[in-house]
Structure 1
Amino acid sequence: MNWKKQIQNLKAYQPGKTIDDVKKLYGLSSIVKLSSNENPFGFSAKVEEYLKKAEFTYSIYPDGYANILRNSLSSHLGVSEKQVILGNGSDEIIQIIARGLLQQGANTVMASPTFPQYKHNAVIEGAEVREVVLDEYGRHNLDEMLRAIDENTTVVWLCSPNNPSGEYISEKSLTNFLNSVPPHVLTVLDEAYFEYVTAGDYYDAIKLIQKYPRLLVTRTFSKAYGLAGLRVGYGIANEEIISKLEPLREPFNNNIVAQGAAAAALTDQAFIESCRLENRKGMEQYYELCREKELKYFPSQANFIVIDFGIDGDEVFQHLLSKGYIVRSGKALGFPTAVRITIGTPVQNQGLLEAIRDFLNTAD
């Protein structure tokens, strides 16, 4: 068969080990998974209440326009429902953007390392990928990214807070960047971890959309809202951009359970605020360890932290795995001597910190 040449060496996404896999491998009865940046506190009680009371008819298609969720988001964000596009996770929004704007002869600019789906989808569409290495502090090198843009650039990707470094883009830096991006380029601002941010100089992306007509923001219900298993993401932009992207969206891409659960999740912002505060407390537990053991790390505004152990990240990963803690080796993320750890509950964090101290003491 005549496959696209650009997919010949493309690899499928490789998920980490499951909890059952690790239990069997190491003969453990209890496993703590802190590798995929899920919410350790689960989801809102209002979602649970909705799921118990809702009556689903699985034999017919869901609402293809997801009116209830779309209108809930419109009200929550203070934008028109025509400014919102829904996806099967924000991954699908990224895929839709790539399908609409990237092709052979075009190029796209992104940081490195950053969320890999930007590059993955660009490669599939045959576009040139221009990667700009993060600065020494794990931040986007915005000046270099601007220099990488030319007349054939169609999309620039910004991830703030960035996955995997956890660093964010300040309001001043972002507005300076947006003021300099040529009008033929769409800037995509990925805010998957927006709800966890506590930095005082963080921007208001919704206000920026009103000012910058070539800006699109993506967000998700998979992280702070705790609905990763239901796969709901969304994009916000001006009506013109959304109207161009909507025909590329798969019909019925948000299932009937996901639509209602996400709408219910929006009604409990007190839960989100609680998760934000608990996440910040947990982050401080890891900062304290890093200061104590003189380990390098990136200050994070997300719900994870990258810690550099100065040795092969796989070695740290394997040790923690043997103790019943699943984290993410930095070797697959662009930080080969580090691991990325999702912030857990206080008890989960304490247990993992003890396992890390045990590893460091053994290595000494």
Structure 2
Amino acid sequence: MISPKPYIKTLAPYQPGLPIEVVARSYGLQPDAIIKLNSNENPHGPSPAAVEAMRHALQNSHRYPDTFSLTRLLSEQLGVSGDSLILGNGSNDIIDLIARTFLGNNDESIVSQYAFAMYEVAIQTVGASSHIVPANNYGHDLEAMKNALAAKTKVVWIANPNNPTGTFISYADLENFITQVPKNCIIVLDEAYYEYLEPSERHNTALWPAKYPNVIIIRTFSKIHGIAGLRVGYAIAAPHIAELINRVRLPFTNNHLAVVAASAALLDHKFIEMSRKTNANERRKIEQQLTLHGIDFIPSKGNFITLRISDSAVYDSLLRQGIIVRPLDNYGLSGWIRVSIGLPQENDCFINTLIPLVSSAKKK
């Protein structure tokens, strides 16, 4: 009998959000009538510049992809050296690469109670263990994470802003934490939602790996850049760390069209700023309505809001009416859902559908 490694037997695979086609088929709905608010995608679609770039690049699809141009652009835009960059097939790929490079049997990783589920998948896949630190007000408790450090701790994972709770750690607190972590322990800062921060809130963390060689920054093109379906992510690390991770990376994991689209999207500053401003305005509008109607939520810095519905029947009713959101039971947040910020009309429809459902559930 063929048997996998023991720790694979107990591995719970990552569960992505329900796709439109499945919901349409399950509830007898028209796909174009469904509002998808469960995967934190950019509702404006891909950058127009990315679409145009792919159209021109199609004729060269017979060639293996060349990532040099994207690496050069990232280097220029971020102000980091090219040898400090790692490209991946989405940031999930980067997470997996880091785990495979630095973790193994008897090693331990520290994660927060409400951390992105892919960290645990990557950790367990390589036979390492997780030390889960209780959250503080749904966010990372840096003091508790510091106190959890042990001799066998090899990697600490921190998403900022955090997914799925949307909480944010100040850069001063984060940098203070970094200085207290042993230099032989990797600190991963997952900044998938970095571009959704107000410009005044951002810190140039891309330069941190040069200052703190045990820090790795992860970012993605799946969120504000609007090309989640093309799978492009990247990391910034000290050159000797990047070199180790790139040894593990398979060749040609980024396809030709994805590389071309990411390069164009990176330079489409007008689209990025429009997406950020629209998201901030719509998120504020939803939070105001939730407050007005007494619905608990966690203030968010991302392109989503996590809120309490208490009764799972509310989630089921939303699905039946063609509104897909993300239940958070698998994160230990039973009775909570995560809702992506959609287009203005989608958000209005969601709020107008949600409020009577929650009101009715509270009366039961």
TM-score by length of 1: 0.95
Residue of 318, 323, 347 corresponding to 2:321: 323
Q: Is it true that 1:34 corresponds to 2:32 in the alignment?
A: no
% identical equivalent positions: 38
Alpha-carbon distance between aligned partners in 1 of 2:19 and 2:148, rounded to the nearest angstrom: 39
TM superposition shift of 1:271: 0.8
5 Å-filtered alignment, 1:196-275, equals: 196-198=196-198, 200-275=200-275
Q: Does 1:67 align with 2:65?
A: no
Task: Check whether the contact 1:220–1:232 (CA below 8 A) recurs between aligned residues.
Answer: yes
- Contact 2:187–2:216 (8 Å) recurs in 1: yes
Measured in 2, the distance between the counterparts of 1:340 and 1:57 equals: 40
1:7 deviates by: 0.8
Give the AA of the match of 1:158.
Answer: I
Task: Indicate whether 1:193 and 2:196 are aligned.
Answer: no
Distance 1:53 1:31 in 2: 31
SS of residue matched to 1:54:
helix
Q: What amino acid does structure 2 have at the position aligned with 1:335?
A: L
Asked if structure 1 preserves the Cα contact closer than 8 Å seen for 2:14 and 2:121, the reply is: no
Aligned pair count reads 359
Aligned equivalents of 1:325 and 1:303: distance in 2? 17
Moved more, 233-242 or 191-200: 191-200
Could you tell which deviates more after superposition, 12-21 or 126-135?
Answer: 12-21
Cα-to-partner distance string for 1:99-152 (whole Å, 9 max, x where unaligned): 01111121111111111111111111111210112112x210000101111111
Give the secondary-structure state (helix, strand or coil) at the position aligned to 2:187.
strand
Unmatched segments (≥5 aa) in structure 1 = none
CA distance in 1 between partners of 2:199 and 2:180 (Å): 24
Counterparts of 1:232 and 1:205 in 2: how far apart (Å)? 20
Deviates more, 1:165-174 or 1:23-32: 23-32
Q: Which amino acid aligns with 1:211?
A: K
In 2, the alpha carbon distance for the partners of 1:96 and 1:240 equals: 15
Q: Distance in 2 between matches of 1:34 and 1:67?
A: 34
Which residue identity lines up with residue 47 of structure 1 in the other structure?
A
> Unpaired segments of 5 or more residues in structure 2?
none
- Cα distance in 1 for residues equivalent to 2:201 and 2:289: 26
Which residue in 2 is equivalent to 1:302? Answer: 302
Q: Which amino acid aligns with 1:124?
A: T
Displacement of 1:16: 3.0
| Aligned-partner Cα distance in 1 for 2:221–2:167 | 20
Amino acid in the other structure paired with 2:232: V
Deviates more, 1:153-162 or 1:281-290: 281-290
The amino acid across from 1:58 in the alignment is: S
Q: What is the TM-score when the length of structure 2 is the normalising length?
A: 0.95
3-state SS of paired residue (1:188): strand
1:2 offset after TM fit, Å?
3.4
CA distance in 1, matches of 2:175, 2:12: 36
Q: Is the 8 A contact 2:7 2:124 kept in 1?
A: yes
How far the C-alpha of 1:245 sits from its partner, in A, is 0.9
Q: Distance in 1 between matches of 2:314 and 2:359?
A: 12
